[in-house]
Amino acid sequence: MPSFFVTATGTDIGKTYVTAGLIRACRRKSRAVTALKPVVSGFDPLSPESSDPYALMEALDLPVTSLDRISPWRFAAPLSPDMAAARENRAIDMKDVEGFCRAAIATQETVFIEGVGGVMVPMNARETVADWMTALRLPLILVTGSYLGTISHTLTALDVVLRRELHVACIIVNETDNSSVPLKDTAETIARFSQGITVATLPRRAKDADFDQVLGALL
Catalytic residues: 37
DSSP assignment string, 52-105: HHHHHHHHHT--GGGHHHH--EE-SSSS-HHHHHHHTT----HHHHHHHHHHHH
Q: Distance (Å, rounded) from C-alpha 142 to C-alpha 185?
A: 18
Q: Distance (Å, rounded) from C-alpha 30 to C-alpha 200?
A: 22
Residue pair 195/11 in contact (Cβ under 8 Å)? The answer is no
What is the end-to-end Cα distance of the chain in Å, rounded? 8
Q: What angle do CA 62, 177, 5 make, to 5 degrees?
A: 45
* Cα–Cα nearest to 173, from 181, 164, 161, 165: 181
Contacts of 113 (CB under 8 A, 6+ apart): 3, 4, 5, 6, 35, 36, 38, 101, 104, 105, 136, 138
Q: What phi and psi values does residue 159 have, to the nearest 5 degrees?
A: -60, -40
The alpha carbon of residue 198 and the mean position of all alpha carbons in its chain are separated, in whole angstroms, by 17
